[in-house]
Amino acid sequence: MFAFTIRRLLFAIPTLLAISFIIFAILDLAPSDPTGNLPLTIPPEVRAQIRSSLGLDEPFPIRYALWLNQFFINEPLNMIEGWTGWTIGDGERLRVTSWATRSPVVDLIVERMPQTLWVVGMSQIIAILIAVPIGVISAYKQYSWFDQIGTFVSMLGFSIPTFFTGLVFIVLFSVHLKWFPSIYDTNHVIDSWSSFVFQIKQMIMPTMVLALATAAQLSRYMRASMLDNLQQDYVRTARAKGLSERVVVTIHVLRNSMIPVVTVIALNVPTIFGGAIITEQIFRVNGIGQLLIIGIQGADIPLVQTLTFIFAVLIVMFNLIADVLYGILDPRIRYE
Amino acid sequence: MKKIGFLMAATALVAAGAAQAERASDGQLNIIYWQAPSLLNPYLSGGTKELEAASLVIEPLARYNETGTMVPFLVDEIPTVANGGVSEDLTSITWTLSEGILWSDGTPLTAADAVFTWQYCTDENSGCAQLSNYNDVESVEALDDRTIKITFSVPKPFPYGPFVGAQSPIIQAAQFAECVGAAAPTCTDANFAPIGTGPFVVTDFKANDVASFAANENYRDPAQPAFATVNFKGGGDAASAARSVLETGEFDYAWNLQVEPEILTQMSAAGQGTVVSAFGTSVERMHVNQTDPNPDLGDERGTAAHPHPFLTDPRVSRALSIAIDREILVEAGYGSAGQPTCNVLPAPAIYASTNNDWCLNYDPDEANRILDEAGWVVGDDGVRVKDGVRLSVLYQTSTNSVRQGTQALVKQMWELIGVETELRNIDASVFFGGDPSSPDTFQKFFADIEMYTNNFDGTDPERYMGNWACAEAPSPETQWQGSNNQRFCSAEYDELVVEFGQTAALEDRAALAIKMNDMLMDSGSIIPLVHRGGVSAHANSLQGVLMNEWDSELWNIADWTRAD
């Protein structure tokens, strides 16, 4: 298992380098322009000067090499300096800088992490808490009224896009009932019970919108996997041994059924960091997803490049973690 | 905490007696811009959102008010030839700062700051977005602490480019001294929180998300601003920004509500807020290609060597123009934010021509008659043909729901006069992007008709009217850069452009501008559609909003107050 993990990690390095090159090339070939969204009153000479001040005059390989240097050498050194307080070299390094904000991309990402983790992360947890029991009960009592309703609700969750549920929630809970704010306050500081309650209030709508969509998907996986396992011989053996139904279902069947579900959950984790572009826009959570979409719209190549690359790293990592988890959940699976 | 704040406010009120206005007495002002500002230094951005957010903090010498008239901000009077502030030969202008103006850090504002601002923006490595405001400036000197002399290399009939309007505010020399040229982007702290002379100071800035401001202790009017803090939130879309002011009342002011008019009307029925609009110089127009975009021409596609097969005939363009019912376009897409127009230069009032108003009269029968007369015969499929050429046009614009709505309506209207229309829309960042390697930019204009909005900053149309000089036509020689997208070219027009630059008297300039506008209209190379205004909404409890299209919308935020 250990050798397997090391091998996979080493293999990830060329994969990630290739990914970073492809992302950079795609962004470079895309016909967008960082000065494209400026008012038309700004004349072309000035636009040309802005582009050259952003370094767009340099040829493609140089810009790519520059980014590699900034991302893989300067940024980590900078982080080490930040954590330890040491000064490495003269401490003056070119960092990956966003074109729109003229500030370091990593700082922007760090600034946005909290709201994304709070909202999107919480939605995944809630989704798991909803989906697993529903999946288990639906499978155990297949074709019961509970199963029928569960199927119906998860089909709804599957087929209704978040921009619609989001709007319905706002119209219902913000406009008519006035229970929750429709706009997320990223400056909010939790320092008392009432401010904690406010944080919960402003999180409920975006979190639930996302959780419903994810739970719908997860509960279907859970149900299907449970059904598969309930038919197995070992279940009959367990029952024949005289084990209680509770033990059969929660210990034997559930653990075996979790394998495919764990894959789905593990592969969902990178999307937590990736934010939820649409939901973040609707509720103005202004996290990573919104940062990415603004970067794409404004042709902010360093920002988009860095973000998409970080997502790529996370996806590769969590693929590996999912594989390792298989081995833990199911001792029959061995990697050598 | 709240209680203490309330007590303090109450004591302050008692202390102030019956004083009407007092600094920081009205609590928090919540503003929502659905495009969030990326930084607060307009010299490094150029986007409207940054310009307006920064206008709370940094100020120019003079601003334009809601009628487009210049009003002094950091000076006592506007220099003119009459008061001796502008030299007789129009090559220099001298501004005198008001006495006792302080930066928010307590240091005095001096003429040296203006000199520095000019140097900062004109440094060739800075990539300054507002460079064109300093066109033809030869030098900016500080004659003494309060006197700024700007010398131009050519006579400037309108010398109010530098340091006037939201595009050209004064930044503090002390703060930005290390940030000139290539170092400009490295000064993140200064770019996120410039020190200014305006009514507010930046307390926190989260790029592309939210900016927080507090009242400036050193603001020149001790009674202003009325609000203690400003929460300037960004992100999302226009419709939900409108909702947060008009329906839920979470915010006090929402900017640029480009939403279908019926939705706005529905929302304002909730009675929480008011929709306000103001008109500047923006015109949604069609440019009519004067060159042939046929792909078979290869490298010479869309160049002056190949005139357009039929759109160079002003009769065709005139027929297309009067076959458009502009009232319907306004009603469907713009509501109170639009008015039908027949001029590419619709404002200020003295420059607006009345000679083209025939286009307001929607008349498909007349359009049909003109085309019949021009020799276009309706073919079997209902499309007009002349000498084997079908009257079929490719009509492109940027991707935007209002524009696609307009396209669909126009297509129907043109069908009635036997014109076939193919529609196309291109993502705005590509269309306006100007990338010479992309075939889809509005400069390349590889289509017959294209539609977008343009305008000019401030109130002087000289540079704007110069957009249609022959030399401004994009072509392979200019790497497809230039502003004369439809490649209109007339020697007579070019002479007028030169004459405009040498004419000083306002009435003569107005007459020239009208003449140039009429020439463009008569050529049929531009079909103006809608004079577009800005639309914003404010809560009913917010007082003092004077919607302004000539400067920042927040230009008079120091005067805003909360009604009880």
Tell me the residues of chain B between 22 and 81 that have a Cβ less than 8 Å away from chain A: 32, 36, 38-39, 44-48
**Is residue B404 assigned to a domain?**
no
Question: Are residues B509 and B546 part of one domain?
Answer: no
Check residue B479 and give its pLDDT. 84
Which of A44, A102, A107 shows the shortest C-beta gap to B191? A102
Q: Crossing angle, helix A145-159 and helix A193-230, to 10 degrees?
A: 120
Interface touch B47/A112, C-beta < 8 Å: no
Residue B253 sits in the same domain as residue B292: no
pLDDT above 70 covers a percentage of chain A that reads: 98
Residue B60's CB is within 10 A of a number of other CB atoms, namely 27
Work out the average pLDDT over B177-184.
Answer: 86
Report the domain count for chain B.
2
- Do A113 and A50 reside in the same domain of the chain? no
B203: containing domain: 6-272+540-562
d(CA A200, CA B500): 62
A133 and A39, same domain (yes or no) = no
B412 inside domain: no
- B487 Rama sector, left if φ>0, alpha if ψ -120 to 50, beta otherwise: left
Query: Does residue A228 sit within a domain?
Result: yes
CB contact under 8 A, B127 and A50: yes
- Give the model confidence (pLDDT) of B210-259 as tens digits: 999 999 999 999 998 999 999 999 888 888 899 999 998 999 999 988 88
Which pLDDT score is estimated for B15? 39
Q: Check CB contact under 8 Å for A183 and B236.
A: yes
The b/e string for A247-261 (b: 16+ C-beta within 10 A; e otherwise) is ebbeebbbebbbbeb
B401-415 vs B326-333: helix crossing angle, rounded to 10: 150
- Structure confidence at residue B507 (pLDDT): 87
Domain with B514 in it: what CATH number?
3.10.105.10
CA distance A250 to chain B (A): 44
Distances (CA, A) of B538 to A133, B32, B275, B534: 48, 10, 7, 13
Domain identity same for B262 and B290? no
- DSSP element (H, E) containing B267: helix B261-268
From chain B, pick out residues whose CB is under 8 angstroms from the CB of A286. 36, 206, 208-210, 234-235
Residues B73 and B101 in one domain: yes
Interface subset of B 491-520, CB within 8 angstroms of A: none
Do B217 and B323 share a domain, yes or no?
A: no
Burial of B323 (0-12, 13-18, 19+ CB in 10 A): buried
pLDDT of residue B20: 52
The ipTM, to two decimals, is 0.84
Asked if the structure places residue A102 within a domain, the reply is: no
- Whether B419 is covered by a domain: the verdict is no
**Statement: residue B10 has pLDDT above 60:** no
d(Cα B410, Cα A251) in Å, to the nearest integer?
A: 68
pTM, two decimal places: 0.84
Q: Quick one: which of B529, B527, B531, B530 has its CA closest to B311? A: B527
Does the CA dihedral B516-B522-B527-B528 come out positive or negative?
Answer: positive
The answer as to whether A335 is a domain residue is: no
Residues B242 and B289 in one domain: no
* Chain B residue with the nearest C-alpha to that of A191: B1
Question: How many CA atoms are closer than 13 Å to the CA of B197, on its beta-carbon side?
Answer: 26
**Which residues 6+ apart lie within 8 Å of B279 measured at CB?**
B339, B346, B347, B531, B532, B533, B534, B549
Q: In this complex, is the C-beta atom of B122 within 8 Å of any C-beta atom belonging to chain A?
A: no
What is the rounded CA–CA span in Å between residue B249 and residue B256? 17
Residues of B in contact with A51 (CB under 8 A): 127
Average pLDDT over residues B456-461: 87
Is the pLDDT at B13 greater than 80? The verdict is no
pLDDT tens profile A65-101: 988 888 888 888 888 887 877 777 666 677 888 888 8
CATH of the domain at A276: 1.10.3720.10
A181-201 burial code (b ≥16 CB/10 A, e <16): bbbbbbeeeeeeeeeeebbee
At B107 the pLDDT is 95
In terms of domains, do A221 and A286 share one? yes
Same domain, B234 and B302: no
Contact across the interface for B437 and A170, Cβ inside 8 Å: no
Q: What is the pLDDT of residue B293?
A: 93
A-chain residues near B208 (CB < 8 A): 100-101, 108, 286, 290-291, 294
Identify whether B401 is part of a domain. Answer: no
Best residue of A163, A286, A300 to probe chain B, by most B CBs closer than 10 Å: A286
Note whether B165 and B457 are within 8 A (CB): yes
Based on the fold, state whether residues B506 and B456 are members of the same structural domain: yes
The DSSP bridge partners found for residue B283 are B454, B531
Q: What is the pLDDT of residue B139?
A: 93
* C-alpha triplet B414, B419, B421: angle, nearest 5°: 80
Residue B123 has pLDDT above 70, yes or no: yes
Contacts of B204 in chain A (CB under 8 A): 187
Domain count, chain A: 2
Measured in residues, chain A has a length of 336
DSSP-assigned letters across all residues of B44-91 = GT--HHHHHHHTTT---SEEE-TTS-EEESSBSS---TTTTSB-TTSS
pLDDT of residue B4: 46
Bond from prior residue into B225 cis (ω within 30 degrees of 0): yes
Cα distance between residue B245 and residue B32, in whole Å: 9
Summarize pLDDT for B309-357 with one digit per residue, the tens: 999 999 999 999 999 999 999 999 898 889 999 999 998 888 999 999 9
Query: Residue B6: pLDDT above 60?
Result: no
Mean pLDDT of chain A: 86
Taking residue B498's Cβ as centre, other Cβ atoms within 10 Å add up to 11
- Tell whether B173 and B214 lie within a shared domain: yes
Structural domain of A292: 107-329
The band of B271, judged by pLDDT with boundaries at 50, 70 and 90, is: confident
Amino acid at A274: G
- Name the pLDDT band for A336 (thresholds 50, 70, 90): low
Q: Are residues B235 and B357 in the same domain?
A: no
**Does residue A91 lie in a domain region?**
no
Q: Kindly state whether residue A89 falls inside one of the protein's structural domains.
A: no
Which residues have CB under 8 Å from B486's CB, separation 6+?
A: B287, B288, B289, B290, B445, B525, B526
Tens of pLDDT, residue by residue over B272-288, are 999 999 999 999 999 99
Beta bridge partners of B215: B200
Alpha helical stretches, state H, B86-221: 111-122, 173-176, 188-192
Quick check: is A93 in a domain? no
Asked whether residue A188 falls in the same domain as residue A255, the answer is: yes
Q: Say which CATH number the domain at B11 has.
A: 3.40.190.10
CB contact under 8 A, B38 and A297: no
Residue A176 identity (one-letter amino acid): H
Residue A36 to residue B432, Cβ atoms within 8 A:
yes
Residues B312 and B265 in one domain: no
Instruction: Kindly state whether residue A57 falls inside one of the protein's structural domains.
Output: yes
B129 touching A (Cβ < 8 Å): yes
* pLDDT, tens only, B145-173: 999 999 999 888 889 989 999 999 999 99
pLDDT digits (tens, 9 = 90+) for B306-315: 999 999 999 9
- Do A80 and A112 fall into the same domain? no
Q: Are β-strands B28-33 and B253-254 bridged in parallel, bridged antiparallel, or unpaired?
A: parallel
Average pLDDT, chain B: 89
**What digits encode the pLDDT tens for the residues A115-127?**
888 898 899 999 9
Whether B207 and B356 share a structural domain:
no
For residue range A122-164, list pLDDT tens digits in order. Answer: 999 999 999 999 999 999 888 999 999 988 988 888 888 888 9
Residue with tokens 């010299």: B43
Closest CA to A89 of A104, A109, A108, A74: A74
**Torsion angles phi and psi, residue B224, rounded to 5:** -120, 160
Give a yes or no: residue A94 inside a domain.
Answer: no
Average pLDDT of B446-471? Answer: 91
3-state secondary structure B449-503: EEEEEECCCCCCCHHHHHHHCHHHCCCHHHCCCCCCCCCCCCHHHHHHHHHHCCC
Residue B73 clears pLDDT 90, i.e. is over it: yes
- Does residue B481 lie within any of the structural domains? yes
Give the Å distances, CA to CA, from A8 to A265, A325, A336, B178.
20, 14, 11, 48
pLDDT tens digits for range B98-109? 999 999 999 999
A29, A32, A53, A93, best to mutate vs chain B, most B CBs in 10 Å: A53
Cα–Cα dist A329/B467, whole Å: 70
Among A92-106, B289-303, B415-429, name the one with the lowest average pLDDT: A92-106
The last residue of a domain, from among A36, A53, A84: A84
Position A319 confidence tier, pLDDT thresholds 50, 70, 90: confident
